[in-house]
Structure 1
Amino acid sequence: MGGRRSDERWYRAFWDSGLLLPSVTTIIGSVSAKGGIPYWHGTEAARYAVERHDEIADLIAQGEEKRAIALIAGAPRRITAEASELGKLFHRVADAKIRNRNLPLTEDEAEAVAPFEATLDRFIEEMQPTYRWTEATLYNRRLLYAGTGDCGLELGVSLPVVMRRRLVHTFPPGELLIGDYKSGNAVYDETGAQLTGYASCSHMSLRDATNTIVEMPRVAGGVVIHIRPDGYRAHGVLITPEMRAGWEYARRWFEVQREVVSGSVGLGVRAGGFRVDDFTSIDIRVRNALALRGVSTLADLEAFGPEKLLAIKHAGPATVGTAREILAIEGREWPLGPDETTETTQERGAA
């Protein structure tokens, strides 16, 4: 299985506490093209360097080049983190408002979120939503994923969907929609995939005292509720059979990426057989020490022997085990020592 990134989110399946399900956003982050993100990262890093050029120049003059580089390179990450924290705060405020609950905030939090909350109030007044749920955990038992849906709602007014200057659909008042709040600068196409993932779920947790699980009601479509200090926009989202089929492919491709792709490209080879330095599973310090001792090919390694390998600093029993596996690729082997066993002999003993 592929390793998990720090930005991934997983949910525990309600029907099997030992089963972890990837979130909708984790799937999208894994399978989606990065688009303009690298350009944005470069632009923000450059902007930071220009705006703080005196500070950066001072650090370089003091021999602190690594620190200067870290500050410049980390600028996009800091911007993203700040926006993420504000987004999380707004979601908490929206959830509390819909549930008619008081949410204690610090003075700084209240000041930061106030313009967004005022816009949310305007959205509620003008679009007249009736909320059916808020911040619910959604599950798909067939495709094995989950996510947190911001809300399910029925608007009191119609919601036209315009694509490329053409009216393609209108959601009438009272139709159940899956809603997602966005408080960033823009709404991106990936949001359509996100809402399709939520809408395709089979079950949901009501977040009541007992976390009751019920079947997910069928939604007519989605709505992205874009909240900014200067106003709101409600973006209708069509959840078509093609979008649902595409989402299912995305879920399966996510699994292929984690379980199959990493094992699909073989080790690079050269004429004349494998070399010890082809195998990064051996500590580079050990590989360098072997090279200094004239051990290059696997034939050299076989002749070198496990005793001499263990005498090298940073090598240990695990290194010997790894070396045995590597030697076996070419049908080579080291005799077992009196205290050594293989998996095969261990299995025989257990039998």
Structure 2
Amino acid sequence: MDPDDGRIKVPGVTSVVGMEPKPFLVFWAAKEAANAAVENWDVVSTLVERDPAGAVDYLKNAHRRKSKAASDLGSACHDLFERLARGETIHERHIHVDLKPYARHFREFLDEVQPEFLHLEETVWSDEHAVAGSFDAIAKVDGDLVVLDWKTSKSVYESVALQLSAYRYADRIILAETGESIPMPELAGGAVLHVRPEGWSLVPVKCDREVFDTFLALRSVFEWDRDGKKSVVGKPIAQGGERATGTARRAA
């Protein structure tokens, strides 16, 4: 929602990027359901006897349970990374055991790369393209000003380029503390800090105008999915068979 006009609502960057086709997710979801059945066969077989519908729900939601667990871990890491990037001292005993390797690797990144953070966890807004989002960081790295995204996923997926391009070419940053808008600075590019339990890597990501044009195409798809498709199929002008009423036949 635009702080200058509370009536203006626009889609988020991640919602627009979500318009990109992801056929592999169908196979992944099927695999998670199959794994849940095999790994928990005793529970599932008992559930099938007592509550077949419950068994179906348990299996069909297997991918959502795994996705939520990964999302919860990612959110906790993002909060931790932001605090560390701001220079907050966090004692080891206050870090959950699951997060300790992520904290260690993020600290190593800070020590080795020495990024100079200009903005952390701020909102961007595009007046021209009516889209908003929230980036993790804008920082100077080796003299270049770049937009950074923290990722704890298994891999760095190509869709992050679309996400970073939307941040890069936004019109303004809306500062969380004051609500003031400032122009988006000119950025040299983007990168992902990929942090996993076993290590970290800083990965450059192409997020230029060409990539941004693809994001804008998805923005059009979002508009179609939300509003455009609702008005393209009209009411029947002729009907036959059992579905047709006498009134419908006369109208035809």
The TM-score, its normalising length taken from structure 2, stands at 0.91
Task: State the 1:200 CA deviation.
Answer: 1.1
Aligned to 2:185: 217
Aligned to 1:80: 67
CA distance, structure 1, for counterparts of residue 161 and residue 34 of structure 2: 31
Q: Which amino acid aligns with 1:253?
A: V
1:274/1:298 contact within 8 Å kept: no
The question of 1:24 aligning with 2:10 is answered: no
CA distance, structure 2, for counterparts of residue 66 and residue 46 of structure 1: 17
Aligned to 1:150: 136
CA distance, structure 2, for counterparts of residue 247 and residue 122 of structure 1: 33
2:16/2:215 contact within 8 Å kept: no
CA distance, structure 2, for counterparts of residue 300 and residue 216 of structure 1: 58
Aligned to 1:34: 22
Task: State the 1:135 CA deviation.
Answer: 0.4
The question of 1:260 aligning with 2:228 is answered: yes
The question of 1:14 aligning with 2:3 is answered: yes
Q: Which runs of 5+ in 1 are unaligned?
A: 1-11, 156-172, 276-295, 303-329, 332-351
CA distance, structure 1, for counterparts of residue 93 and residue 175 of structure 2: 28
Summarize the Cα distance change of 1:42–1:300 in structure 2 as closer, same or farther, 3 Å threshold: closer
CA distance, structure 2, for counterparts of residue 298 and residue 103 of structure 1: 75
1:138/1:203 contact within 8 Å kept: yes
Aligned to 2:8, the other structure's residue is in SS state strand
Summarize the Cα distance change of 1:89–1:271 in structure 2 as closer, same or farther, 3 Å threshold: same
Q: Residues 36-76 of structure 1, C-alpha deviation per residue, up to 9 Å, x if partnerless? A: 10111000110010000011111223x31111111111111
The question of 1:50 aligning with 2:38 is answered: yes
CA distance, structure 1, for counterparts of residue 82 and residue 12 of structure 2: 20
Higher relative contact order (CA 8 A, sep 6+): 2
The TM-score, its normalising length taken from structure 1, stands at 0.66
Summarize the Cα distance change of 1:217–1:59 in structure 2 as closer, same or farther, 3 Å threshold: same
Aligned to 1:16, the other structure's residue is in SS state coil
Aligned to 2:85: 98
Q: Choose which of 164, 179, 196 in structure 2 pairs with 1:228.
A: 196
Summarize the Cα distance change of 1:41–1:300 in structure 2 as closer, same or farther, 3 Å threshold: closer
2:84/2:107 contact within 8 Å kept: no
CA distance, structure 2, for counterparts of residue 135 and residue 298 of structure 1: 62
2:17/2:215 contact within 8 Å kept: no
Summarize the Cα distance change of 1:297–1:233 in structure 2 as closer, same or farther, 3 Å threshold: same
The question of 1:177 aligning with 2:146 is answered: yes
CA distance, structure 1, for counterparts of residue 117 and residue 101 of structure 2: 22
Give me the identity figure in percent: 27
Structure 1 stretches of at least 4 aligned residues deviating more than 4 Å after TM superposition: 102-107, 267-271
CA distance, structure 2, for counterparts of residue 184 and residue 299 of structure 1: 58
- Flag the structure with larger Rg: 1
Q: Choose which of 222, 247, 250 in structure 2 pairs with 1:299.
A: 247
Q: Which runs of 5+ in 2 are unaligned?
A: none
CA distance, structure 2, for counterparts of residue 105 and residue 205 of structure 1: 33
Aligned to 2:111: 125
| More divergent stretch after superposition (71-80 vs 244-253) | 244-253
Task: State the 1:152 CA deviation.
Answer: 0.4
Q: Residues 170-205 of structure 1, C-alpha deviation per residue, up to 9 Å, x if partnerless? A: xxx211000001101111111000001111111112
Q: Residues 191-231 of structure 1, C-alpha deviation per residue, up to 9 Å, x if partnerless? A: 000001111111112222x2322111111110011100101
Aligned to 1:121, the other structure's residue is in SS state helix
2:239/2:249 contact within 8 Å kept: no
Aligned to 1:71: 58
Summarize the Cα distance change of 1:298–1:88 in structure 2 as closer, same or farther, 3 Å threshold: farther
1:44/1:76 contact within 8 Å kept: yes
